[in-house]
Amino acid sequence: MGSAQRDAVTAGAGTHALAPASPLVIMLSASPWSAAAHRQHALAGELARSPRGRLRVLFVDPPTNGIRWRFEVAEIDDGLWHAVVPAALPFGRQSPVVNLVNRVVAARSLRAWLNGRPGTRVLWLDEDLAHPMVGRLGEAAVVYDATDLDWTFTRRWNRRNLRRSLRRAVVSADQVLVSSAALPGHLPPVTRPPIVVANGCDTDLFEPDGPVPRWMEAIPRPIVGYLGRIDVRAFDGELVADVARRHPEWTFVLVGPSTKAGVAPMAGLANVRIVDEVPFSMAPAIVRGCDVGIIPYRTGGLIDYVHPKKLYEYLAAGKPVVATGLPAVRSLDAPVHVANGPDEFADAISAALATVHSPQHCDERRSAAMANTWTARGDQIRDVIRSVVPA
């Protein structure tokens, strides 16, 4: 959005006369606050709570795909609010016209709440469909945070809609952030180079010492663990199945939401256990119960842009990590075993198991995670906001 358009919107709201306050970041999220486990949730809390230049944050859930009449805002913490916006019409995720109507309705409710809170506003987009909100909330700058390609998650008939939304979201931004250096090549061209702000972790949450689920205590060791979605888009089930057949003495525990196609290659394998999705609060205990954490993602395709958040969570718990050669993983300065194909992957797990109980290796993993906390990412983002907000 051009500066003239943004100034006109702000002037119309009459907010320039209000007393200055710390910047207010309006996070238009693709995941509701109740999801609690994603990048935007961690960053919202970090920006609002950090002693290094706190910001005010309004975390806004995406509109429901049904109809919702009420607008609600709840204070989560000092300087951190959560908003649930109305949706006047159903199926906004599939219809551009309905999406526009719903975003305009949501913007009116948000604007009324925002007008009672002085200070510079920064609009944060991590949902492509939120692009119609740009220019409607009196923001001084727009930041687009690219961590995924939303259009790759939808059905083919809806991809054109989401790809168009991606282009509009990127073009509207004063600054684009990317979670991986491999992601800009999949985005529309931008005038200002994207800034890489990788994923991070909460090292306190994933402390090595702590409880382990009782159900894991009865599982034969060693345990090779994975937390994440078990599908065919990213997860390489054929790779895991092949390695599991070669090593029946290893138990593979795969935890997360799954699809029939995702789990099909591992059907009938006695040493592979599929566990349904669990609350994020249980993730640290499950990671502690594993001997090795794996990231068996497909490489050489569209998913190559991914920067797996679980990698730092494994390391924070002191666990050795074996991952396929995603560009983001290969470029890391971290103690990770990178392997492709069943032979390499199995050998890498064997090598990782040899270091499970080494205090030196555990400290190295933990140190790598400590260098990649959400606090560090929050510091990066505060610098970005200072660079895009007018003095």
Q: Per residue in 104-120, pLDDT tens?
A: 999 999 999 999 999 99
Q: Is the pLDDT of residue 60 over 90?
A: yes
Same fold, 3-200+373-388 and 214-370: yes
Of 168, 150, 169, 146, which is closest to residue 158 (Cα–Cα)? Answer: 150
Taking residue 291's Cβ as centre, other Cβ atoms within 10 Å add up to 18
pLDDT band at 8 (very low <50, low <70, confident <90, very high): very low
Lowest mean pLDDT among 31-45, 100-114, 217-231: 31-45
CATH 3.40.50.2000 fits 214-370, yes or no: yes
What pLDDT score was predicted for residue 153? Answer: 82
Q: Per residue in 345-386, pLDDT tens?
A: 999 999 999 999 999 999 999 999 999 999 999 999 999 999
Q: Is the pLDDT of residue 312 over 70?
A: yes
What pLDDT score was predicted for residue 7? Answer: 35
289 to 2, 331, 373: CA distances (angstroms): 52, 28, 22
What pLDDT score was predicted for residue 51? Answer: 67
Cβ contact 292:181 at 8 Å: no
What pLDDT score was predicted for residue 19? Answer: 33
Domain extents in the chain: 3-200+373-388, 214-370
What pLDDT score was predicted for residue 391? Answer: 65
Question: Whole-angstrom Cα distance, residue 123 to residue 58?
Answer: 10
Q: Is the pLDDT of residue 9 over 90?
A: no
Output the pTM of the full model.
0.89
282 to 31, 212, 213, 228: CA distances (angstroms): 19, 9, 8, 13
Of 281, 310, 226, which is closest to residue 34 (Cα–Cα)? Answer: 281
119 to 2, 4, 137: CA distances (angstroms): 20, 19, 12
CATH superfamily for domain 3-200+373-388? Glycogen Phosphorylase B; (3.40.50.2000)
Lowest mean pLDDT among 123-132, 246-255, 296-305, 373-382: 296-305
Question: Whole-angstrom Cα distance, residue 113 to residue 73?
Answer: 9
Q: Per residue in 150-207, pLDDT tens?
A: 888 888 889 999 999 999 999 999 999 999 988 998 899 888 899 999 999 999 999 9
